[in-house]
Structure 1
Amino acid sequence: MRHWKTILAAAAVALASSTAAMAARTDLVLGMVLEPPHLDPTAGAAAAIREVTYANIFEGLTRIGPNGEVLPDLAESWTISDDGKVYTFKLHKGVKFHDGTDFDASDVKFSLDRARAENSQNAQKQLFAAIDTVEVVDPTTVKVTLKQPQGSFLYNMGWGDAVIVAPESADTNKEKPIGTGPFKFQNWVKGSSLTLVKTDNYWGEPVHLDKAEFRFIPDAAAAVAAMLSGDVQAFPFFSPDAVPQVKDAPNLKVVVGATEGETILAMNNKKSPLDQLKVRQAVSYALDRKAIIDGASAGLGVPIGSHMSPSNKDYVDLTGVYPHDPAKAKALLKEAGLENGFKATLKLPPPDYARLGGEIVASELREIGIDLEIIPVEWAQWLDQVFTKKDYDFTIVSHTEPNDIDIYSRKDYYFNYHNPEFNKVIDELNLTADEAKRKELLGKAQKILADDAVVGFMFELPKVGVWDSKLEGLWQNQPVPANDLTKVKWAD
């Protein structure tokens, strides 16, 4: 009898162990190319900040869903006045920040007033320019009055730059972010990884993951090795050029989707000789989009002729405005008094689309007499030298923020482009809610940018993700920069 009891006991232990082993995983290691400079999405332009924090740590009144739709978030509902100027938001009850402080309407007022203040550090301050007043009606109700109707207001409130923060922790969010989201910050090993853990008593739908580590792997070869070994289980923004090395791995799947990433050869429109329209047009004619797409995105990018994603319903195909025509480019340079070309610099940030694309662009411009000195820069250097100080001639970057054609109307933006006609179109667009009229205005805006050859419009960045075949819930598309983990789980 003792012998059989021993066998049964051993079987029970084995069964328990087997059941535990079969239970779905609750941890995830996710790879990222770029490390964020800090973790406060209300005080920095880098997309990597939002790739960690959006929907995970921080939440807004609304949020953008995986297909670009506007969804309720901290605001469970809202009403809009007949004149389109007053938005009254009803907030969820019982919401707390990660430090235990209560969330209420006063936090919304603080966040929106802070974002639109004169001394605001918000990289997308323009999102809040239409706000006239923010009023606390009661702890769960806030009323936002606009200076004029704004058709995109609810969408704007879903950007990562519009998340709600608390006055108690706002000044320290760069290193120790405190939000209301389903994950809270645990630790950050600079240069290596950052870890989030599941929030206790989250107000909304519970998440499946208990722990998520974001591991920073800028080298594509290292990313391939990490995915094939299983050290990293997901790489939502994988190098397209490295896809052939992982596509046949039986435990991995490659998922290709759309982004909002207009990939451009930016030009400093105030710097000679790029301040001449004919010179910028010559640059545009020199670009062979197919060669650039093949070399910089493994042929997966979609060509663009202005600043809008081809997946957008209001996109206008203007790729025919400047077809690849080196002879035409040389003729324009001659008309501009630059028959012998000129020398300039090309500053390239770390992503493959920039470094690989930059080599191709430099070769194409060399054919028409423009000799580019390639200067690789780290992301922090790019933000400082190019984006902030405008110390550059050419650069390559992908603008991943959604529906951001208005950046060309912003005073002192790094393109140094100023066109009153374009600004007038954007001003009218901001006042327009009618979809048909908005489509017409967006078409005009795209045409002006193409005609002015403000930048060299190259391609829409593809969203190439690689992750474990048992992993579910990661976004296929990228309507906003995000690694939203709220629905991510391992299949049972």
Structure 2
Amino acid sequence: MKKFKILLAGTVACMALSSSMAYAERGTDGDLKILFWQAVSTMNPYLSGGTKEVFASSMVIEPLARYDETGELVPWLVTELPTLENGGFSEDMLSLTWKLKPDLKWSDGTDFTAEDVVFTWKYCTDPNGGCAQAAQYEGITNVEAVDPLTVKITFSEAKPYPYSAFVGAQSPVIQAAQFKDCLGAAAPGCTSANFGPIGTGPFVVKDFKPNDVITFEANPNYRDPAKPAFASATLKGGGDAASAARAVLETGEYDYAWNAQVEPEVLAAMMAAGKGRLEISFGTQVERINLNHFNADPALGDKRSTAEAGPHPSLSDPAVRRALSLAIDRDIIVEAGYGQSGRPTCNIVPAPETVASTKNDSWCLTQDIEAANKLLDEAGWERGSDGIREKDGVRLSYLYATSTNSVRQATQELVKAMWAEIGVDAELRNASASVFFGGDPASPDTFQKFYADVEMYTNNFDGTDPEKYLAEWLCDKMPSPANGWQGQNIPRYCNPEYDALVGELSRTADLEKRAELSKQLNDMLTEEGAHIALVHRGDQSSFANSLQGVRMNSWDSQVWNIADWYRAK
């Protein structure tokens, strides 16, 4: 595994200092001002797959274990990681036992116990709940409280890599007492709990205005009495990536702005003010274009983009999917929109190095307009009088959706021009990031609903093992009305051979064999056109030079150690 980190401005070392060096007591550094230009719609990551919701909620609710800035799995709410060596992981690999830290309190002062962990599993696996993180609990048959501080997880079959449920920012523990009436279909309606979860993290929600502002206060029952250094935090949402970065780097109004997806030359001009630094770290983040495998015709009404709509009239053709990828010049996209924070890729699993495939690089990484045109010609897609290809009355004309962002709109324009060279048209559409990634089942514009032919965004996975991420493309993980549009298989890709290979990966212990299976699964998704991977993106965010204690993390939540952040005196 490799972890890359670049400090583009400032000389402040992002090292964790002891609390005695950083601050004397909790709440001495005032208000921490945060900007998320993609506004947060809920504080419950189980009801949204959006990164903004996962990151914001991780300030409040926490997992049993998480990944540090090097990708190392570390205990968080437990005394140690259960392993074969210490007996926490059974020799038959059918069970995993976690030992909770004693005396942990929820922010309301009540005890954090094994029953809360059991409840969280029941909450996310309820068949009527539409849990956005269901893949984290794949293969678990039971979670039980052996005693108040002991949790035992039982798997349906040997699980060589068992660290999925309750691990990482996407799989935190929620309080049973608060969410007890929110199981199944009742989950989305529990507004009070979803907007203000009781947690074990360093902050508690004081006020939540969806898609606008969240105000936090330091958790009075946080396990370290000296932390957090900040008495409060204000997370402002909305706007755009450029204005968010500017508010830290140039004007100094904010301490931290997440996701500086801004053109390189624009960022360079902002940093000249000398008020902030830009940090980049590479993990598993990939900007991709999903190809809808179901018919997205608006005339189909509620059936569109579901199995009832039937296969997509043109994207169901493998030749079309391959040609769309061949026509794209990934180097130009990286140069224009990402600079040092991007690398061309054809892989949905780009890291760590041990699982990153190179099989498809020979045909995919280099644009080949001639090969793309030849594929379409041979498949019978002929150019019409307007230059757009068609066959049997079906035109290669697509609604291409993404979130509102200058880099993404520029990428859309580039891809549209590239596709035009092979006789493919694209209608470009963008929606506010707060809506696009919001997960509202009533909205027609969410990325989960996928009411378009193709859509573009970035996603990644926690940690360095891709098993649970690759499980997101299982046939039963498709978003649909039945699960509140919260499934993780956004392109609606379904291949029984793929499902079987995921099952084999989950049963495989040998690390080299696991890596090989992961590569095979990645390659299937690329070769069969579940999506078109474009850019291996680095996490890039803006920090005030005065903000210290930050340890930039691409394997978990960027705010994973926010309890250690402090303001330099």
TM-score by length of 1: 0.90
Q: Decide which of 81, 98, 111 is 2:107's aligned counterpart.
A: 98
Q: Secondary structure at the match of 2:62?
A: coil
Q: Which residue of 1 aligns with 2:243?
A: 222
Deviates more, 1:264-273 or 1:448-457: 448-457
The one-letter code matched in structure 2 to 1:407 is E
**Could you list the per-position Cα deviations for residues 47-91 of structure 1 after superposition, in whole angstroms to 9, with x for gaps in the alignment?**
11111121x200112122222221112222331111111111111
Call closer, same or farther: CA 1:314–1:330 in 2, change over 3 Å: same
Report the alpha carbon displacement of residue 460 of structure 1 after superposing the two structures with TM. Answer: 1.2
Q: Which residue of 1 aligns with 2:563?
A: 486
Call closer, same or farther: CA 1:299–1:289 in 2, change over 3 Å: farther
**Separation in 2 of the partners of 1:207 and 1:81?**
37
| Superposed counterparts of 1:3-152, under 5 Å | 25-54=29-58, 56-77=59-80, 78=82, 79-152=88-161
Q: Indicate yes or no: 2:302 matched with 1:302.
A: no
**Separation in 1 of the partners of 2:74 and 2:256?**
26
Q: Which residue of 2 aligns with 1:339?
A: 382
**Separation in 2 of the partners of 1:207 and 1:24?**
9
Q: Secondary structure at the match of 2:501?
A: helix
Q: Which residue of 2 aligns with 1:153?
A: 162
> Is residue 475–residue 495 contact of structure 2 (8 Å, CA) maintained in 1?
no
Q: Secondary structure at the match of 1:173?
A: helix
Report the alpha carbon displacement of residue 24 of structure 1 after superposing the two structures with TM. Answer: 7.4
Q: Secondary structure at the match of 2:361?
A: coil
Call closer, same or farther: CA 1:97–1:352 in 2, change over 3 Å: farther
The one-letter code matched in structure 2 to 1:122 is C
> Is residue 401–residue 481 contact of structure 1 (8 Å, CA) maintained in 2?
no
Q: Which residue of 2 aligns with 1:207?
A: 228
Q: Indicate yes or no: 2:488 matched with 1:407.
A: no
Q: Which residue of 2 aligns with 1:261?
A: 285
Report the alpha carbon displacement of residue 46 of structure 1 after superposing the two structures with TM. Answer: 1.4
Call closer, same or farther: CA 1:139–1:477 in 2, change over 3 Å: closer
Deviates more, 1:245-254 or 1:152-161: 152-161
The one-letter code matched in structure 2 to 1:237 is N
Report the alpha carbon displacement of residue 224 of structure 1 after superposing the two structures with TM. Answer: 4.3
Q: Which residue of 1 aligns with 2:494?
A: 418
> Is residue 350–residue 357 contact of structure 2 (8 Å, CA) maintained in 1?
no
The one-letter code matched in structure 1 to 2:429 is I
Structure 1 vs Structure 2: percent identity of aligned residues?
22
Q: Which residue of 2 aligns with 1:330?
A: 373
Q: Secondary structure at the match of 2:47?
A: coil
Q: How many residues align?
A: 470
Q: Which residue of 1 aligns with 2:423?
A: 369
Q: Which residue of 2 aligns with 1:392?
A: 452
Q: Which residue of 1 aligns with 2:356?
A: 315
Q: Which residue of 2 aligns with 1:17?
A: none
**Separation in 2 of the partners of 1:408 and 1:70?**
24
**Separation in 1 of the partners of 2:28 and 2:102?**
32
The one-letter code matched in structure 1 to 2:451 is D
Report the alpha carbon displacement of residue 338 of structure 1 after superposing the two structures with TM. Answer: 1.3
Q: Secondary structure at the match of 1:374?
A: strand
**Separation in 1 of the partners of 2:212 and 2:136?**
33
Q: Indicate yes or no: 2:204 matched with 1:188.
A: no
The one-letter code matched in structure 1 to 2:565 is V
Report the alpha carbon displacement of residue 477 of structure 1 after superposing the two structures with TM. Answer: 3.5
> Is residue 321–residue 450 contact of structure 1 (8 Å, CA) maintained in 2?
no
The one-letter code matched in structure 2 to 1:399 is N
The one-letter code matched in structure 2 to 1:253 is R
Call closer, same or farther: CA 1:93–1:224 in 2, change over 3 Å: closer
**Separation in 1 of the partners of 2:211 and 2:71?**
32
Report the alpha carbon displacement of residue 249 of structure 1 after superposing the two structures with TM. Answer: 2.3
**Separation in 2 of the partners of 1:253 and 1:30?**
15
Report the alpha carbon displacement of residue 308 of structure 1 after superposing the two structures with TM. Answer: 0.8
Call closer, same or farther: CA 1:88–1:470 in 2, change over 3 Å: same
RMSD: 2.2
Q: Indicate yes or no: 2:267 matched with 1:243.
A: yes
Report the alpha carbon displacement of residue 116 of structure 1 after superposing the two structures with TM. Answer: 1.7
**Separation in 1 of the partners of 2:212 and 2:369?**
44
Q: Indicate yes or no: 2:256 matched with 1:234.
A: yes
Report the alpha carbon displacement of residue 373 of structure 1 after superposing the two structures with TM. Answer: 0.5
**Separation in 2 of the partners of 1:319 and 1:66?**
28
**Separation in 2 of the partners of 1:151 and 1:103?**
28
The one-letter code matched in structure 2 to 1:245 is A
Q: Indicate yes or no: 2:413 matched with 1:359.
A: yes
**Separation in 2 of the partners of 1:53 and 1:29?**
16
**Could you list the per-position Cα deviations for residues 262-307 of structure 1 after superposition, in whole angstroms to 9, with x for gaps in the alignment?**
1111111231211000000100110100111122324531111121
Call closer, same or farther: CA 1:146–1:426 in 2, change over 3 Å: same
**Separation in 2 of the partners of 1:75 and 1:135?**
16
TM-score by length of 2: 0.78
Report the alpha carbon displacement of residue 101 of structure 1 after superposing the two structures with TM. Answer: 2.3
**Separation in 1 of the partners of 2:419 and 2:158?**
45
**Separation in 1 of the partners of 2:28 and 2:201?**
23
> Is residue 66–residue 556 contact of structure 2 (8 Å, CA) maintained in 1?
no
Report the alpha carbon displacement of residue 123 of structure 1 after superposing the two structures with TM. Answer: 0.7
> Is residue 242–residue 262 contact of structure 2 (8 Å, CA) maintained in 1?
no
Q: Secondary structure at the match of 2:411?
A: helix
The one-letter code matched in structure 2 to 1:284 is S
> Is residue 33–residue 351 contact of structure 1 (8 Å, CA) maintained in 2?
no
Report the alpha carbon displacement of residue 155 of structure 1 after superposing the two structures with TM. Answer: 4.2
**Separation in 1 of the partners of 2:229 and 2:131?**
32
Unaligned runs of 5+ in 1: 1-19
**Separation in 2 of the partners of 1:64 and 1:209?**
23
Q: Indicate yes or no: 2:541 matched with 1:465.
A: yes
**Could you list the per-position Cα deviations for residues 124-158 of structure 1 after superposition, in whole angstroms to 9, with x for gaps in the alignment?**
21221211112221111121111112233224431
Report the alpha carbon displacement of residue 243 of structure 1 after superposing the two structures with TM. Answer: 1.3
**Could you list the per-position Cα deviations for residues 218-261 of structure 1 after superposition, in whole angstroms to 9, with x for gaps in the alignment?**
32342244222211122232123131222222232121211322
> Is residue 100–residue 150 contact of structure 2 (8 Å, CA) maintained in 1?
yes
Report the alpha carbon displacement of residue 353 of structure 1 after superposing the two structures with TM. Answer: 4.2
Unaligned runs of 5+ in 2: 1-23, 83-87, 183-191, 294-310, 384-388, 390-395, 479-488
Call closer, same or farther: CA 1:204–1:72 in 2, change over 3 Å: farther
Call closer, same or farther: CA 1:319–1:112 in 2, change over 3 Å: same
